[in-house]
Amino acid sequence: MSACLPSVYPLIQAPMAGAQDHRMAAAVCRAGGLGSLPAAMWTATQLAGEIEALRALTDAPFNVNFFTHEMPPPDEAVKARWQHRLQDYYRHWGVTADSAPVPLRRPFAAEQLEVLQQYRPAVVSFHFGLPQAGLMRAVKDTGAQVLASATTVAEAQWLADHGADVVIAQGSEAGGHRATFLGSDMATQTGLFALLPQVADAVPVPVVATGGIADERGIRAALALGASAVQLGTAYLLCHESLIGGVHRTALSAAAGAVAAETAISNVFSGKPARGLVNTLMRDLGCLNEDVAPFPYAAAATAALRSAAEAQGDSSFTPLWSGQNPHGCRAISAYDLTRDLCGCFEG
Amino acid sequence: MSACLPSVYPLIQAPMAGAQDHRMAAAVCRAGGLGSLPAAMWTATQLAGEIEALRALTDAPFNVNFFTHEMPPPDEAVKARWQHRLQDYYRHWGVTADSAPVPLRRPFAAEQLEVLQQYRPAVVSFHFGLPQAGLMRAVKDTGAQVLASATTVAEAQWLADHGADVVIAQGSEAGGHRATFLGSDMATQTGLFALLPQVADAVPVPVVATGGIADERGIRAALALGASAVQLGTAYLLCHESLIGGVHRTALSAAAGAVAAETAISNVFSGKPARGLVNTLMRDLGCLNEDVAPFPYAAAATAALRSAAEAQGDSSFTPLWSGQNPHGCRAISAYDLTRDLCGCFEG
């Protein structure tokens, strides 16, 4: 067992809502890593089903990940402004703003807690801070080890002070949503090389490194900088078990082989800043656009555009989540990828 | 001798124009590292004097660094727009735009080449690309090993293709000017964790890692990711030999001890994006401001403000250059710092 995680090896498959389910988690767990179930876009009932499906495939410990954002009250004026910003696209693609439903990302709440109390996963991780104190206490009472992500030293200290057992230092290289929850300034986001040793020095709990780790070199470097474990997401996105759609797979395959995969942090897909391969919507609107509806509402307005464009193999409106090093992506099973990566922990 | 550099250890003290001279370079050289002379703000005559002063202190090989930017023709309208943007500050501080002269950063040219031909330093490094082909050939004819900085894989390949003997991979964590010379998009700047292994895989020459390296952990991590050597700048800024002024020293000392030193990449000080501690001018104008006069002219317009403010201990207009990990800064001699850092290369 690894020193800071219940898995055989100190490697976490990053939870990736919309991109994977229990099949990827099970493959990683069977290979000795810590597989993750990404619960942010699932109902409590769906989550329970995923846990049961995972347990049918492996007895190994696993991680369940939740978002802990605030849900601002819906604001029709803000929604209208965002849809107005997109109206030329609606016209061009012949869709209306509301013509494609999209699962809303929901924060951790009482009904998710009930699922944890019933199934008692070994590890629970949170993104965007931690649940409010009562919920947090109840999660810890299930016996789960609690992990949470920090993008700054201040966030890492806040998490350790508020009960996180392990802090995940998320370097600016990471794909998907920035975990940022204290402040919102993307100009001061920190690369893993600088963030990791400062976090390791600042908190009394073990630190997991994530962001830009693509292979054994990255794992060794993270351990050298003070990490007790690593978390990889992008590297798993081309695996057989990945659920990403065709345009995402095509773009990521190109990036994995390309000299210069351009990614940027953008809020245009969900309302919160997240890193992905640069595409038309990001270029047209600017990566950080002020008209975007707040998280998690923004995604609904581009869902119809995304569907229409993807049907023609066009990735203009698809969030092409990727970290800054997609060169670790391989079209193999998550089991084989995990075994390969974990080789560096042997002897 | 280190494998890829003529110094005893594979560690370069980053050239820092305005912040150091031959004294720091000599201290680093005597400790076995590769000291650097930052020539960007010196005349050819000043450079020759610095080389002679350095040679009087040590026989060890050293590096001379030049900028290779283009000098756009002065544009009075652009200058007026930039000064107009600053007029409230001029009024408040009781200065005029032109009331403090400032040394202009000059690109490498024939007169600098003559100095190289006369003194034949072992290493010459370039920032913002390479000199044009004729000058570059002449530099190589002096026998110098040529290093140049890349912020992307594409830049690294361009440098290797155009004669650089060693490529410096500059992660987004690095303090001071981004070396960017192909494109100008700061949104796609890459953290060292992702940049370094991709550059190491892409070019046939040795790679030096820079950006966010503050201590032995960072050195070991850089070597694990494929670097043949490391370059540290920020770590040297509080050394006895550093020439930074009082407000910079004070801000950096605070950052070195602080939980969360906030740095950002900004163009407001010189016209080109460079990383420093966030201060008033960056906050007021936005880190990347479109009214800024082009490099290297922008600095002249804030020089009088900087002088007036610094006289009162106010860092509002001072470029507080710093990388994202100032925790390696120590108020010791550059000799001692270099010896400490190089300890990790021993056995």
Q: What is the pLDDT of residue A101?
A: 76
Q: In sequence order, which residues have a C-beta less than 8 Å from that of residue B312 and are 6 or more positions away?
A: none
The shortest C-alpha distance from B261 to chain A (Å) reads: 9
Q: Does A157 touch chain B (CB under 8 A)?
A: yes
The residue of chain A nearest to residue B221, with distances taken between CA atoms, is A221
| pLDDT given at position B102 | 80
Alpha-carbon gap: A276 to the closest alpha carbon of chain B (Å): 10
Question: Is B197's CB within 8 Å of A152's CB?
Answer: no
Model confidence at B1, pLDDT cuts 50, 70, 90, reads: low
Which residues in chain A have their CB less than 8 angstroms from residue B192's CB?
A: 191-193
Would you call A328 an interface residue with chain B, using a CB distance cutoff of 8 Å? no
Q: Which of residues 279-318 of B touch A (CB under 8 A)?
A: 287
- Inform me whether the C-beta atom of residue B154 falls under 8 Å from chain A C-beta atoms: yes
A263-281: average pLDDT:
97
Instruction: Sort out which chain A residues have CB atoms less than 8 A from B202's CB and list them.
Output: 259
Closest A-chain CA to B218: A225
Indicate the residue of A192, A217, A262 with minimum beta-carbon distance to B188: A262
Instruction: Say if CB A323 and CB A275 are below 8 A apart.
Output: yes
**How does residue B347 score in pLDDT terms, banded at 50, 70 and 90?**
low
pLDDT of amino acid A104: 87
- In three-state secondary structure terms, A304 is helix
Instruction: Specify which residues B124 forms β-bridges with.
Output: B64, B146
- Residue A99: is its pLDDT beyond 80? no
Q: Which chain A residue has its CA at the smallest distance from B212's CA?
A: A194
Whether the predicted model's global pTM rises above the 0.90 cut? yes
User: Which tens digits make up the pLDDT trace of A60-71?
Assistant: 999 999 999 999
What value does the mean pLDDT of chain B take?
96
Q: Looking at residue A193, what is its pLDDT?
A: 97
| Residue A276 touches chain B, beta carbons under 8 Å | no
**In chain B, beta strands by DSSP E:** 11-13, 36-38, 63-67, 123-127, 145-150, 166-170, 176-177, 207-210, 229-232, 263-266, 274-277
As a whole number, the mean pLDDT across chain A is: 96
Contact B267, B177 (CB under 8 A): no
pLDDT band at A150 (very low <50, low <70, confident <90, very high): very high
Residues in chain B: 347
Among B161, B193, B268, B345, which would you mutate to test the A interface (most chain A Cβ atoms within 10 Å of its Cβ)?
Answer: B193
How confident is the model at residue B68, as a pLDDT? Answer: 98
Q: Which residue of A has its CA nearest to B151?
A: A260
B3: confidence class by pLDDT, cuts 50, 70, 90: confident
Of residues B187, B194, B211, nearest to A212 (C-beta): B194
Distance from the A209 Cα atom to the nearest Cα atom in chain B, whole angstroms = 11
The question of ipTM being above 0.90 is answered as: yes
Mean pLDDT for the stretch of residues B189-202:
97
The pLDDT of residue B195: 97
Between B242 and A259, the higher pLDDT residue = B242
pLDDT in tens, A10-50: 999 999 999 999 999 999 999 999 999 999 999 999 999 99
Helices (H) and strands (E) in chain B, counts: 13, 11
Percentage, residues of chain A above pLDDT 70: 99
On the CB side of A77, how many CA atoms lie within 13 Å of its CA? Answer: 0
DSSP letter (8 states) at residue B187: G
- Going along chain A from its start, the domains and CATH numbers come out as 1-69+105-240+330-347 (3.20.20.70), 73-103+262-321 (no CATH)
Contact B195 A259 (CB under 8 A): no
**Residue A320: which pLDDT band, with cuts at 50, 70 and 90?**
very high
Whether residue A108 contacts residue A127, with contact meaning beta carbons closer than 8 Å, is answered with no
User: What is the pLDDT at residue A40?
Assistant: 96
Report yes or no: A212 at the B interface, CB cutoff 8 Å.
yes
Lowest mean pLDDT among A187-191, A256-260, A314-318, B338-342: A256-260
In the predicted model, what is the mean pLDDT of residues A245-260? 90
Interchain contact B231–A (C-beta under 8 A): no
Q: What is the pLDDT of residues B145-168, one digit of tens each?
A: 999 999 999 999 999 999 999 999
- Given this model, what pLDDT does residue A321 score? 98
For residue B257, the model assigns a pLDDT of 86
Q: What is the pLDDT of residue A257?
A: 86
3-state class (DSSP) for residue B36: strand
Q: For B324, which residue in chain A has the nearest alpha carbon?
A: A194
The CA angle B100-B102-B107, to the nearest 5 degrees, is 160
Report the distance separating Cα B146 and Cα B206, nearest Å.
11
CA–CA separation, B338 and B30 (whole Å): 9
Which of A188, A193, A260 minimises the CB distance to B152? A260
How many Å lie between the alpha carbon of A249 and the closest alpha carbon of chain B? Answer: 20
**B261 pLDDT band (50/70/90 cuts)?**
confident
Across the interface, whether the CB atoms of B188 and A154 are under 8 A apart is answered no
pLDDT at A260: 67
Each residue's pLDDT tens digit, B110-148: 999 999 999 999 999 999 999 999 999 999 999 999 999
pLDDT at A100 over 80: no
